[in-house]
Amino acid sequence: MLIQNQKTTINCKGKLIDLKTPIVMGIVNVTPDSFYDGGKNNSVENAVNQAEKHLNEGATILDVGGYSSRPGADNVSEQEELERVIPVIKAIIQEYPESIISIDTFRSKVASKAIESGASIINDISAGDMDNNMFNTVADLNVPYIMMHMQGTPETMQNNPTYKNIIQEITNYFSEKINALRKKGVNDIIIDPGFGFGKTLEHNYKTLDNLNHFQLLGVPVLAGLSRKSMIYKLLNTNAKGALNGTIAANTIALHNGANILRVHDVKEAVECVKINLNIYGTHDI
């Protein structure tokens, strides 16, 4: 296991962001089939309006994605993914030049084109497992890299996910990935335990309860809980009715050391952060 003092800053386009104070990442899905807001931001104009709303409500990062990773989602070609995300990234940067955009993709080519178009962070659900060139691309581009844990692929991840010790297995997985990235000179690394990705309801809540364990890896932790099935199935509702549950889960994540909340509803997440800071202050790391 990699144990060291936790790094709290990331460098985005020459701007240092200190994650000791938790921040909010606003989701901008430009897909027709995402589980909650699919089709909502299909036009560039709508996506830019969504980005504006997120920024006005306090988002530090905008996460633009053009490939739905929900279970059973349709496969999208690399070209189609590029055609979805690149115009949106360029339009957001044109309207809001200082905005910090992460590109939500597992493809190194899409990541490269997105960074070239104005994005400054790569957010990879596969941690390099679905594109062997991703780590080299991250190293060459010298940008912050968010990597997520997922058992299997989006098509197979919910087919009876099994662990002997989920917390230890996720920790070991990230430890190996972090070591590999460090050897390539990558310093700005963020980990996402992957709520809902190859995990049962029990696995998800055990991971949330033990989120602070991942601080041992010495890198910031992102929690992506927003309106997921782990929330709405437990509450016997749906994604649309899962805002209250999301707020509760995000509050627990912050208390357990999350540095970034990835959400659909920025205003509510920012308020969670403010209340958490008022009680606990910045993370003691």
Amino acid code (one letter) for 29: N
How many CA atoms within 13 Å lie on the side-chain side of 56? 6
Told to judge if 228 belongs to the known catalytic residues of this protein, a careful annotator would answer yes
Amino acid at 181: L
**What torsion, rounded to 10 degrees, do the Cα atoms 128, 132, 134, 140 define?**
140
What whole-number distance in Å separates Cα of residue 31 and Cα of residue 26? 15
β-sheet bridge partners, residue 26: 62, 263
Phi, psi dihedrals of residue 192, rounded to the nearest 5°? -130, 115
Which listed residue (84, 113, 177, 262) is catalytic? Answer: 262
Residues 27 and 262 sit within 8 Å (Cβ to Cβ): yes
* Residue from 107, 228, 233, 240 carrying the catalytic annotation: 228
Q: With beta carbons less than 8 A apart as the criterion, state whether 251 and 239 touch.
A: no
Residue that is written with structure tokens 């437990």 in the block? 234
Could you give the residue numbers annotated as active site? 228, 262
